[in-house]
Structure 1
Amino acid sequence: MTTSDPQAAGPLPAHVTTPLLALITQQSLDEDYQHVAEQRRSGARPAVARTGRSPRTLIAVLLFGTLLAVAAVQTARNAGVTSAGRDQLISRIDSRRAALAGLQAQMARLRTDTGAAQARYDAAGKRLDTLNNARAADLVRTGFDTMNGPGVRVVVNDAPGGLAQGQVQDKDLRLLVNGLWQAGATGISVNGQRITALSALRNSGEVIRINGVSLSPPYTVLAVGDTRTLQAGLAESTSGAQFQAVTDQFGMRVSMENRDDVRLPEASPGMMALHKARSGTSKQQKPPVNQEETQ
């Protein structure tokens, strides 16, 4: 097998060494010039139709012109549509802005109304707190709520021997309770029954009753107050002095001591029920009697 030397075969043709783009351009131009030169030598007029290029160019120009005309017409039409759409869009934007401004004004009014309502609510809450505090204080003071604090514990018992004169009576406990009030007590209970403005100590036979509950000796009286002055105030009060005189006279047993923490129960809520009063005597309040029934 033999290999041939490229240089030995001679130089390469021009159409091989010339770049492709330059070759296409040269050949195209050469063929056109050659064609036109032959027509001129033969005395014939160059025919546009024979070349095969000018009609295509003309058609291309016509098509391009048609496209420009269509584009111009379409652009004119679109210009009107675009202008109408722009005006409509601007109108919508203005309408939305006006609506937004109205909503913002409404929100401002609502904020103002809400602030005023909140201020009224806060003021009402403060008044309610004041009333609740006053009510709670009234309930404690009147005996319808529990109470605790320093105070004294007084135990009263019948005199030894079982004599009737030595038994503690309702009036004796009333003297003690009134004396404690006079000494500055803020709350009192007797055998676990809270003393209120509606309470009354009364004898029912040999039993003392209060708040509808029967008591039995020994009687434990708890009073909340200043331990530094409560006992001394009791002894110096008119009712306290009378109580001391009665117990000394009939030999009733009495003990009293200060307490750091005295707890008083609340009175029964049923005691707060209102009762309706009617004027007139009991006979006037009775319904008329049917005479037929008495015959």
Structure 2
Amino acid sequence: MPMSDGPVGGPADNPPSPASPPAWRWRLPGPWRVGTALVLLMGSVLLIVSENSSGGTDLRPGRYNDLASLVNNESRRVKAQQEQVAALTAEVETLTAGVQNEEADETRRQADQLRGAAGLEPVNGPGVTVTLSDAPIEDINALSTDDLNPFVVHQQDIQAVVNALWSGGATAVTVQGQRVISTTGIKCEGNSVTLQGVPYPQPYVIAAVGDQTALFQALQDDPVVQGYQVDAADPEISVGWELTLENLVQAPAYDGLLDLAYAEAIN
């Protein structure tokens, strides 16, 4: 508790002699002292709440100066979570394999037969690679219009290429090296595309394993891909388009989440 700044106990007209030892007494804190303590306490509580809420991440997303920093940060976070999922999945598979009964064995045999079709096994072979990219940045900066849509790659452009490759008989497709399966969602968020929870900047590399002639023809026949190629050939737009025949395309096994989330109608 704070103490008074001077001696007390004598009348104002009869102060104690200098030789007398000063007398002190405790004084109750004033309102401003109580307020200071409360402010300090509240500040400490807010710091603790912020630390718990952030989970070790930055609560001020505005500190990111460019898209690349944001993409790299999110990619590292998702990669760490994917590694955790992989470890838990391996543990579950080990525990499942330890269950020995006829019904469980038959279910495992059926699941193993479907792994390839579900994209859970790696696939290698000849195929094609398609690379899509935005128009050159210097061309975009020189534009006199605010409509940038024709000059950048959109999710529908990527989806059109992927769908054309499937229709051409592709046995496996990857986007940015990630295996695409029936539940994969390709979403455009700002100037990046999110695939299986991971944001990727352009250029976008789409690869497929399959008969090269059939894949090439399927790309030429798709109307959305045709429209994109027209824009790529237009010098005033010049979005990137590159098609390469590959002797070997390596499509890794899908290693993402397999659980499905869906809505149910209310009766």
Structure 1 pair 130–268 and aligned structure 2 pair: CA distance change class (3 A): closer
Q: How many Å separate the matches in 2 of 1:168 and 1:276?
A: 29
1:131 matched to which residue of 2?
110
Q: 1:263 aligns with which of 220, 238, 250?
A: 250
Matched, 1:253 2:240: yes
1:275 matched to which residue of 2?
261
- 1:121-160 deviation digits (Å, cap 9, x = unpaired): xxx9xx8897366323323xxx233211110011111112
Q: Is the 8 A contact 1:150 1:227 kept in 2?
A: yes
The alignment covers a number of residue pairs equal to: 154
Matched, 1:243 2:228: yes
Structure 1 pair 277–138 and aligned structure 2 pair: CA distance change class (3 A): same
Query: What is the CA distance between 1:252 and its match in structure 2?
Result: 1.0
Query: What is the CA distance between 1:246 and its match in structure 2?
Result: 4.0
Q: Is the 8 A contact 1:178 1:240 kept in 2?
A: no
Structure 1 pair 202–129 and aligned structure 2 pair: CA distance change class (3 A): closer
Structure 2 length normalisation: TM-score? Answer: 0.50
Structure 1 pair 195–171 and aligned structure 2 pair: CA distance change class (3 A): same
1:146 matched to which residue of 2?
122
Matched, 1:168 2:153: yes
Q: Is the 8 A contact 2:120 2:255 kept in 1?
A: yes
Q: Is the 8 A contact 1:151 1:225 kept in 2?
A: yes
Which one has more relative contact order, counting CA pairs under 8 Å at least 6 apart? 2
Query: What is the CA distance between 1:204 and its match in structure 2?
Result: 0.9
Query: What is the CA distance between 1:225 and its match in structure 2?
Result: 0.8
Query: What is the CA distance between 1:267 and its match in structure 2?
Result: 2.1
Q: Is the 8 A contact 1:179 1:234 kept in 2?
A: yes
Q: Is the 8 A contact 1:247 1:253 kept in 2?
A: yes
Identity of aligned residues (%): 26
Q: Is the 8 A contact 2:157 2:224 kept in 1?
A: no
Q: Is the 8 A contact 1:146 1:265 kept in 2?
A: yes
Q: How many Å separate the matches in 2 of 1:202 and 1:137?
A: 25
Q: Is the 8 A contact 2:229 2:241 kept in 1?
A: no
- Higher helix proportion (structure 1 or 2): 1
Q: How many Å separate the matches in 2 of 1:190 and 1:276?
A: 24
The structure with the larger Rg is 1
Matched, 1:183 2:202: no
Q: Can you give the 5+ residue segments of structure 2 that lack an aligned partner in the other structure?
A: 1-102, 141-147
Letter in 1 for 2:249: V
Q: Can you give the 5+ residue segments of structure 1 that lack an aligned partner in the other structure?
A: 1-123, 282-295
Q: Is the 8 A contact 1:156 1:218 kept in 2?
A: yes
Q: 2:194 aligns with which of 192, 206, 209?
A: 209
Secondary structure at 1:229 match in 2: helix
Residues 57-96 of structure 1: pairs in structure 2 closer than 5 A = none
2:178 matched to which residue of 1?
193
Secondary structure at 1:261 match in 2: strand
Cα RMSD (Å) of the superposition?
2.9
Q: 2:214 aligns with which of 209, 229, 235?
A: 229
Q: Is the 8 A contact 1:149 1:261 kept in 2?
A: yes
Letter in 2 for 1:273: D
Q: Is the 8 A contact 1:172 1:246 kept in 2?
A: no
Q: How many Å separate the matches in 1 of 2:259 and 2:243?
A: 35
Q: Is the 8 A contact 2:124 2:248 kept in 1?
A: yes
Matched, 1:156 2:132: yes
Secondary structure at 1:247 match in 2: helix
